Amino acid sequence: MPAAQPPASAADRRRLARRLPPLREADARAIQRFIDAAWAEHGLARLSQDAYRRDLEQLARWRDGAGGGLEGADRASLFDYLAWRHAQGYQPRSNARLRASLRGFYAHLVRLGVRTDDPAVLLDPPRLPRPLPKALTESQVDMLLAAPDVETPEGLRDRAMLELMYAAGLRVSELVNLPANAVNLRQGVVRVTGKGARERLVPLGEESQDWLERYLEQARPRLAGTRPVAADAAGNVPLFLTPARSAPTRQAFWQTIKRQAAAAGIDPGTISPHGLRHSFATHLLNRGADLRALQLLLGHASLSTTQIYTLVAREHLQRLHARHHPRG
C-alpha cells in the first residue's frame, strides 16, 4: 500500500496515482458494465462517465484485488480509502464526487444481485464550502469581447465564441462541441445539448448573431480549407474550427480566454473557466431577469442550482446601496 505521506501538489498526487498497480481485468469489466448501465438508464454525460471511471479505477488499483477486488469492497475498506485520499491532500470537492461514484456503482451491484448490501450507503459527504461564482463586471466583459484581433480568422473565431458564450450562457464544453447545424441565424437561436443529453433553445442576441454571421462568412471557410470537414460519430460537423480543421478543446479555449483577458488588461487569475457563463447569469439577474427563466437558459435541472446566482446579485445590490445611499 502506498505511503500516506502527503504530496506537495496536485502533480505529485497524479504521479502517485500512476504508481498504483495496474487495473485488474475483472475490475475493468465491472466498471465498464456500470458505465454502460448509467449511460443507458440515466443518460450519464460523457464527462461524468469519464469522472466516474477515473474514480473507480483508482479505488480498484488501490485495492489491487484485495477482498474480491472492487466488487467485494466492504464499508471499512472504503473508509480506509477515503482516509488515504485525505492524507494525500485530495480536496473535499473531489472526495464528494468520489462518493457519488461509489454510491452509484454499489447501488448498481445491488440491483444486479451481485451484492446484497451497499457498503457506500452510509458514507458521509465532506462538508463543502458554498463558493460564489466569479463574475466579471459589464465593463470587463466589454473589454474581453473586444480583445481578439478580428482581422485574422482565429481572432474572428475567438470573438464569435466569446460573444456566443456570454450571450447564451453556455458551458465551455457546450460551446466547443456545438455542431454547425445547431445555430439558426434566421430565427436567432442556438440549440444546445447540455448535461444528461438535455437539449435547450437559447436566444442569440443581436451582437452575438452579427459576429457569428461574420465568422461563418469570413473566417470559417478559411479555417476549413478546400476539403470537407470531418464529421463526428453522430454525423455532426463542428461549428468552430481550429487551423487543424477540428473543434477546439476545452483546455485550448480556456487558454484563449486567459490570453484575451491579459490582452484586455484583465487579471487572468480573476477569470474562471465558466467566467462568462457566470457573468451572463449575474448580469441578467441584476437587470431583473426571472429566476425560472434563467434556469431554462442555463440548462439547470434543479432551480436550487440556479439560486446561487441570487447571492451574487444580492452582493452587487448591497455594494450599490453602500456606495450611493445617504446612510449606506
Predicted pLDDT at 3: 42
Greatest extent of the chain over all pairs of C-alpha atoms, in Å: 70
Domain 10-112 CATH (choose: 1.20.120, 1.10.150, 1.10.3470, 3.30.200): 1.10.150
- Domain spans in the chain, listed from the N-terminal domain onward: 10-112, 138-324
Q: Which helix or strand (DSSP H or E) is residue 203 part of?
A: strand 199-203
Per the listing, cell 448501465 goes with 37
* pLDDT one-digit tens code per residue, 172-213: 889 998 999 999 998 888 888 887 778 888 888 899 999 999
Q: Between β-strands 183-184 and 189-193, what pairing exists: parallel, antiparallel or unpaired?
A: antiparallel
Q: What are phi and psi of 200, to 5 degrees?
A: -145, 155
Task: Please pick, among 108, 159, 171, 278, the residue that the annotation labels catalytic.
Answer: 171
- 277 carries an active-site annotation: yes
- 300 carries an active-site annotation: yes
Distances (CA, A) of 161 to 30, 173, 236, 256, 257: 40, 12, 18, 10, 10
- 316 carries an active-site annotation: no
- 274 carries an active-site annotation: yes
Averaged pLDDT score across all residues of the chain = 82
* pLDDT one-digit tens code per residue, 11-68: 555 555 567 889 999 999 999 999 999 988 888 888 889 999 999 999 999 999 888 8
Task: Please pick, among 53, 54, 134, 195, the residue that the annotation labels catalytic.
Answer: 195
Domain 138-324 CATH (choose: 3.90.1150.10, 1.10.443.10, 3.10.310.30, 3.60.15.10): 1.10.443.10
As beta bridge partners, residue 190 has 183, 202
Task: Please pick, among 61, 159, 283, 300, the residue that the annotation labels catalytic.
Answer: 300
